[in-house]
Chain A
């Protein structure tokens, strides 16, 4: 009886995980990390592994050669299958590399459109990252800030139509700006991760850059610093992204015409503890809701 229950459990788990993976794939979120690269089809490998083991377990039931050790084999296989399936489900919710902007429209819509711009570095993955590559970090952060239901929730739960930009390795930041401008974004938040000397490094702070003389930008900056700093490692920094240190001019700050725009470097991707925190299961869901909180306070809870 024990082995039969285990087999049934494995079968149900496989079904559920396949459904989950399919759903994620349809939404363009299926992927798995291999080193610091993201490969979309790898999630299927784990499902394949689980299914193969399930087949072996079934053979244990029907083939006399396996019959003697049937129970032990079944329990072993069931455990391994469940472990691999768990891995596949976890990775299936991870973020992909894609050139596509994805937009979600809640109902009711509160009248404000938010564009969350992800990094599109052509050399993402080779920028000294300790963990996930920078383009993944940014989009993963943005995706969660949009969808999380923790507390009062992310952007969607608060009524903002939200677009999360593509994160292709194409140096295509201008495409993000043009997309947001054409679409009529009212709020434009760039979210990248910072780098210093490459992994491992000790620098860690939250940086929010703003557009000088633009209240929509400076106040949103203050709100984001106030809400995000308590949950991000290190201290906080802020300076203008149009004429900041060394006269830096970020074109996303100059060219995005959303009145409320800021440029965030959330944490240092070459700082191992910071990376570990971000990659902790549940951290993005339980903390990125603060983006929505900051935007709501800034705009007066529309």
Chain B
């Protein structure tokens, strides 16, 4: 028994140390988690089209993809009125589309015979008679089949034809379409001015000083900000030295910059209060519920997930 007592005591000591370490790690993790969360939210996040946090980006992609599908649906219906088949075909980056599908809980279509809607439209057009193909292009773009093919081949519009392919079903639908990105694009100039003014703002003076001190200390480089590091590498400076500065000092910059950016973003919303209110009003209904209840859209999305998930395509062997 005597020999066991120190062993038990030691076991409790070890357990105690483990608990303290676990507690410390847990508190640290919670702090880091809160910090990460704070870093991942942004004042403009709540406005559709301005999302920066992962959730807000996904929301914007979902709305944008749904709106794009809506436009394609209108083109399809318009083409149908002219007596032609055209299936909605939404062009969208694949991973973003897959994220939208996953976010909406869309299951992969089980139809193995599916093909891409772009291929379906192409096949349909190719199989038309020359006269029908002419009618198809006139209905879709308001242009001749020969001109459309030539523009596709060269990437150039016919000289003097700035209005080329702005008619037909595509032109009509695009002209009247609203998009979740409209306000973001409208305010683009001001967003750039905002960014540039942040970089030059006196509020960043302390951050610059801290970055300069850090860059000098870790790599002996005279750099006030990341732009100076770019210029250093671009001017033939040592890439490893620059990498050291960026890995060691980036956080110093990010924290100071973020604070200035938050202030500037709040100022932008205040300055364009009416426009942001209108944006909110446009999407004030539960837009995500509307999307989730659009069965036709969900079926389309399900098909796209199926078509995208092609090993041959992933290997680049489809062409």
A94 vs chain B, min Cβ distance (A): 10
When the two chains form their complex, are residues B227 and A40 in contact, meaning their CB atoms are under 8 A apart? no
Tally of A-B residue pairs with Cβ under 8 A? 184
Please give the residue numbers on chain A whose beta carbons come within 8 Å of chain B beta carbons, in ascending order. 25-26, 28-31, 38-41, 96-105, 107-111, 122, 150-152, 161, 163, 168-169, 171-176, 178-179, 182-184, 186, 215-216, 227, 230, 242, 246-252, 254, 257-260, 286, 289-290, 293, 296-302
Tell me which residues across on chain B come within 8 A of A108, comparing CB atoms. Answer: 39-40, 52
Cβ-closest chain A residue relative to B225? A301
Q: B22 within 8 Å of A by Cβ?
A: no
In the assembled complex, 25 residue pairs joining A and B whose CB atoms fall closer than 8 Å, in A order, are: A30-B316, A39-B317, A98-B313, A100-B308, A103-B93, A103-B94, A104-B95, A107-B40, A151-B239, A179-B92, A182-B64, A183-B61, A184-B64, A186-B185, A216-B192, A249-B157, A249-B161, A249-B164, A251-B151, A254-B157, A299-B195, A300-B192, A300-B197, A300-B198, A301-B195
Which chain A positions have C-beta within 8 A of B152? 171-174
Determine the chain A residues whose CB is within 8 A of the CB of B319 once the complex forms.
97-99, 168-169
Q: Select A97's contact among B160, B196, B316, beta carbons within 8 Å.
A: B316
- Chain A CB within 8 A of B167 CB: no
Partner of B315, one of A96, A111, A151, A216: A96
- Residues of chain B from 174 to 195 with CB closer than 8 A to chain A in the complex: 179-181, 184-185, 188-189, 191-192, 195
Q: How far is the CB of B171 from chain A (nearest CB, A)?
A: 11
Contact A102 B230 (CB under 8 A): no
A301 with B234: in contact, given A183-B96, A251-B151 (CB under 8 Å)? no
Determine if B233 is an interface residue (Cβ-Cβ < 8 Å): yes
Contact A248 B156 (CB under 8 A): yes
Check if B155 is an interface residue, CB within 8 A of chain A. yes
The CA-CA distance from A22 to B160 in the complex, in Å, is 50
B317 and A161 contacting across the interface, CB-CB below 8 Å? no
> Which A residues lie within 8 Å of B8 (CB)?
none
Chain B residues positioned under 8 Å from A171 (CB to CB): 152-153
Query: Does B136 reach chain A (CB closer than 8 Å)?
Result: no
